[in-house]
Amino acid sequence: MKRALLLFSSLCGMTLFVPTLALCSDLGYYAQAIQGHVKILLARRSIDSLLTDSTISPALKERLHLVLEIRDFASRELHLPENGSYRSYADIERAAVVTNVIAAPEFSLQPLTWCFPLAGCVSYRGYYDPRKAESFAAALREQGYETELYGVSAYSTLGWFDDPVLNTFIDWPEAALAGQIFHELAHQQLYVKNDSSFNEAFAEVVEAEGVKRWLARQGRPAAAATMEKQERQQAFVALLLQTRRELEVLYASGKSTQLMRAEKKAVLSELRQRYQLLRDEAWQGYTGFDRWFERPVNNARLAAVATYHDRKPSFLTLLQRADGDLGRFYEETAALAKHPRAERDEILAELAKGQ
């Protein structure tokens, strides 16, 4: 599944770090973002009212009951914000709420960023209409950037609005549904401007810890199949991050454009070979990640992976140092967030050594 990104930036943004794009196109972007979000707000209905509505199917009511249990657990046991978020439901009649665009130069793993007054700078741009996302990505490709487009199942407005549960993820397996809600509420718990890697890694760790505790509370420890899936996910991400590090060394080498293109192609080819070895031998033929390679691997795709996973070991160390006490974990993370970016990155790098 695709992990949700924050979209509130697109509701109130102003400028963008791609100077060749026209201001009028930005105005159109903000208009579609506002209109798209308003439509979702208008489609919301409180879950309590839906549970007493005779026109709602028993299957959906069962899922909505589960959502309320998960939502109460999030505030009561995980100490996540108690508010109206995820206590309403909206069917937006499509599979993804937005399509996100990420872009990076040919020889850099640093994605383009777009900056907004309230959310700060983020490394993606979301569109409610996937055709507009593709048009924007095409314009970036014409300028020489590599791009990644993907559908997003949910986003957080950081507590400015009461975010609803959507049809895009209501039918997910229980652990994934709970994880989605925990992840988005974590963004409401703590959000640092201009640091997507910090925000997403923090939310990923809260999500994983929350799901583990949710399953334990239900008397269902993570099944062996679930643990195996998580281990494969970790191994696959490690493979991608290894490739990312190799490309970083290449891009910093100062070699000619021709040589870098040739060596970049070789590094990406090696990634496929390593994956096939992992799949065929260690995983005994498990093909669950084959689809990831159906599209060309590029810098934008690798940048997106890094956003969610680069800093996770650091936050896991912080959680361990807090002896699993989420209240202390939030306090220590919030204190860390107050450090200047460079100093914060140094602390996070040192914490990662604890894993």
Per-residue pLDDT reduced to its tens digit, 178-218: 999 999 999 999 999 889 889 999 999 999 999 999 988 87
Q: Six-digit token pair at 306?
A: 């890094």
The tokens 């993606």 sit on which residue?
Answer: 124
Q: What is the pLDDT of residue 305?
A: 87
pLDDT of residue 118: 64
Low-confidence ranges of the chain (pLDDT < 50): 1-24
Angle, alpha carbons 264-267-268 (nearest 5°): 90
Sheet holding 120-122, edge to edge: 15-16, 114-116, 120-122
Instruction: Kindly report the backbone phi and psi dihedral angles of residue 127, in degrees, each rounded to the nearest multiple of 5, phi listed first.
Output: -130, 135
Res 5: pLDDT: 40
Quote the radius of gyration of the chain (alpha carbons, Å): 21
Please classify residue 285 by burial: count the beta carbons closer than 10 Å to its beta carbon, then call 0-12 exposed, 13-18 middle and 19+ buried.
exposed
Q: Give domain limits for the chain.
A: 8-217, 224-352
Asked if 133 contacts 100 with a C-beta cutoff of 8 angstroms, the reply is yes
What sign has the CA pseudo-torsion 142, 146, 152, 156?
negative
pTM: predicted TM-score of the whole model, two decimal places: 0.85
Q: What distance in Å separates the CA atoms of residue 235 and residue 274, rounded to the nearest whole number?
A: 11
Q: Which amino acid is at 345?
A: D
pLDDT tens readout for residues 118-176:
667 888 899 999 999 999 999 999 999 999 999 999 989 998 999 999 999 999 999 99
Q: Return the structure tokens found at 217.
A: 């509370």
